Amino acid sequence: MEFIYKAANASGLVETGRLEAASGDQLVTILKNKGLIPLEIKPATGSGLNPFKKRFSRKERLTFTRQLAGLLNAGVGLEKALAIISRLSFSREMNEIISQILRLLHEGHSFTAALEKFPRYFNPLYVSMIKAGEAGGILPKVLNRLIRYLEEELNLRNYVISSLIYPSILGFASLGVLLLYVIVVIPTFEPIFADLGNELPLITRMVMFLGKALQYFWWVFLLLAVGCGLWIWKWTRTEEGGLKFDRLKLTLPLLGNVLTKIAISRMSLSLSMLCGSGVPLLTAFSIAGNVSGNSELNRVLKEVIQEVRQGSTLVASMSNKSIFPALAVEMFGVGEESGNLEEMLQQVAGTYESEVRQSLSVFLAVFEPFLILFMVGVIGILAIAILVPIFNLNSQIDPMG
């Protein structure tokens, strides 16, 4: 959450500002680490920010970066550019953030320091790129790199989401049809079977029991589903749970290969942009791990960083990690030996983005027919549960009268 603070600096002057922290105690620690003495801390209840919204959308961040780069390339100063952007038609959340960044710049903070106060909105990669741009006096150039990165990331994300829309609709429709059949259709046969007076087959009794359970105790199943969903969500938010969940995702049949390539593509694209902007290699690896979207990959990258610091080469360390595909390791090695790591990382990102599209196409080509066959099989079992008692009745009728 965001806090408003007053603190005294080493000169005895009182500084005021806004800063995000998990708690007031954490903010006190942050301020002391900056050489400030906290005087007053209170929640920023009047900031107008929505506490339930973690960050503005990727598209909004891309639009902000495009507009800022365009204005800076046109020779407009940073503060004036932000003032212009703050008057444009963004969401209330983003307009508030831009206004606060502008206020911090007026108070003497650097652009990097201002962005660091909003970690939920600008991730470490974004801040590190801006820092490199400010330090080298090439902020417009760095912003152009950020635009390409954000565009490629957004395009890949949109492609994955759009590719999964049809299978998701098909899956929910199949589930809806099966529930309708079990809850509505099958119970209509119960009075008929009761009049027969014969013992029903096991499969028919099981389907009837399932239909009654769903019809009268649907709320129990709903509570169980919601409860399990909330427990899984909470578990994946823990460090251990998130690591195990991300590790599991990478080992899933078919889909795990796609998720691995997505993570490698994002990592390579981040590394290429960071290294090309002058960020030290090991720092770039640390940042790329944080924004890779996978805790397991982040953990492995930390091991790689540690081994490189102990004297190992980048390729030797990566080749010992099964999470890295052999092709990516070899391409990293070529880039490291030739001294052209940035370009090679860009090629790795492009290669695996193409493979993501191909692998996702293969996955969908297998998943969609499988889902249809599964639905047909389940409906076939339900139909057999209804037809078997009817066939048994016909066999008991004397054909001679």
pLDDT at 270: 85
Helix H, strand E, coil C: the string for 177-223 is: HHHHHHHHHHHHHHHHHHHHCCCCCHHHHHHHHHHHHHHHCHHHHHH
pLDDT at 399: 52
* Interatomic CA distance for residues 147 and 248, integer angstroms: 32
Residue with tokens 């008692």: 389
Sign of CA dihedral 272, 276, 278, 280: positive
What percent of the chain has pLDDT above 90? 7
If DSSP codes are grouped into helix, strand and coil, which group holds residue 50?
A: coil
Q: Where are the domains of the chain?
A: 1-47, 165-401
pLDDT digits (tens, 9 = 90+) for 317-364: 888 888 888 888 888 888 878 878 888 888 888 888 888 888 888 888
Lowest mean pLDDT among 4-18, 90-104, 198-212, 270-284: 4-18
353 closest CA partner among 364, 345, 343: 345
265: pLDDT confidence band, cut at 50, 70 and 90? confident
Mean pLDDT (the chain) is 83
**pLDDT for residue 207 is more than 70:** yes
Q: What is the pTM of this model?
A: 0.68
- Can you read off the two tokens belonging to residue 169? 């609709």
* Interatomic CA distance for residues 277 and 342, integer angstroms: 9
262: pLDDT confidence band, cut at 50, 70 and 90? confident
Superfamily grouping for domain 165-401: Type II secretion system (T2SS), domain F (1.20.81.30)
pLDDT at 51: 44
Q: How far is CA 49 from CA 121, 122, 190, 353, in A?
A: 12, 15, 57, 36
**pLDDT for residue 396 is more than 70:** no
